[in-house]
Amino acid sequence: MRLLLMVAGELINWHFQTQALTKHSQFFDTNYKPFSLYNIPSHSSCSLPLVVFYSFPVFNSSSQISFPLLFSQSSMASIAGSSTFMASLSCHKPNQALTRASNFNAVSLAINGKSFPSLKLHSAPSRLRVSCAAKPETVDKVCSIVRKQLALPEDSAVTGESKFSSLGADSLDTVEIVMGLEEEFGISVEEESAQTIATVQDAADLIEKLIEKK
C-alpha cells in the first residue's frame, strides 16, 4: 500500500488525470478543459496546468485513510459535487493555494492514526500542486477560535501546522476549542476523533470530514 501511495504522490500525467476525473466527475464535457471545470478565469495568473493528486480507486472510503496535508478523505470518495474540492481548487484565492502548495515538498501520511515517514516529492516548478485538504476559510476559522481560546494576540502566528500543545493548550483548552468548533460548524466530534487532532490542520480536516458526512 505504501508503494501505491508513493506512486500516487508522483506527478500524474494529463491522460491519467483526465481518465480518472472523467469517471467521477459530473462536470466534464467531451471537450475537457481543466480551466473551465474549475471556473478559472482565463485572465488569471493560474496559467500553469493544474495537477491533482488523485489516489487510485482501490482506496474506498472504508479504508479510513486520511492525508492531513494534501488529501482529504471526502475529496477522495467523491470529487464530483464536493464543494470542498471545488472551492479549494478555484482560483478565487489563487495566491493562497499557490503558497500552501509550494511549501509542501514532503508529505506525511497518517493511516489509521499511525504516521508514516515523510515522502519526498520531486519538486517540479512547471506544475502547480494544489492541496485537497480543508478549505483555507475553514483553517482560518479554526485559527481564530484557537486564538480566542488561548488568548493569543492577533498577530501571533497560528497556521495549519501549529500544534495545539506547542501553543500552550492544556486539556481544558482543547475540549473548549472542540466545543467552539462544534458550535461554529454545527458538527459533533467524538472523543476518539478528538484525540487524533494534533494540529490546526488536523482539526480543519476533521471538521470538513464531519460536515461532509452530515
Q: Are 121 and 104 in contact (CB under 8 A)?
A: yes
Among positive and negative, which fits the CA dihedral 102, 103, 107, 109?
Answer: negative
Query: Which amino acid would we find at residue 170?
Result: D
- DSSP labels for 159-182? -TT-BTTTTT--HHHHHHHHHHHH
176 near another protein, judged by CB under 8 A: yes
From the candidates 29, 140, 155, 170, which is the catalytic residue? 170
Residue 197: CB minimum distance to another protein, A: 11
| Member of 103, 115, 118, 195 binding another protein (CB under 8 A) | 195
| Member of 180, 184, 187, 212 binding another protein (CB under 8 A) | 180
120 near another protein, judged by CB under 8 A: no
166 near another protein, judged by CB under 8 A: yes
| Member of 194, 198, 211, 212 binding another protein (CB under 8 A) | 194
Q: Total residues at the site for another protein (CB under 8 A)?
A: 22
Instruction: Tell me how far apart the alpha carbons of residues 9 and 120 are, in angstroms, rounded to a whole number.
Output: 9
Question: In terms of DSSP H, where are the helices of the chain?
Answer: 2-9, 14-24, 34-37, 73-77, 83-89, 94-103, 136-150, 171-185, 191-195, 200-213
**Choice between 103 and 165, CB closer to another protein:** 165
| Member of 117, 192, 213, 214 binding another protein (CB under 8 A) | 192
Instruction: Tell me how far apart the alpha carbons of residues 105 and 129 are, in angstroms, rounded to a whole number.
Output: 10
At 24, list the grid cell.
467521477
**Choice between 137 and 170, CB closer to another protein:** 170
148 near another protein, judged by CB under 8 A: yes
Instruction: Tell me how far apart the alpha carbons of residues 214 and 75 are, in angstroms, rounded to a whole number.
Output: 15
Is 170 catalytic? The answer is yes
Q: What is the set of active-site residues?
A: 170
Positions in the binding site for another protein (CB under 8 A): 148-149, 156, 162-163, 165-168, 170-172, 175-176, 179-180, 182, 190-192, 194-195
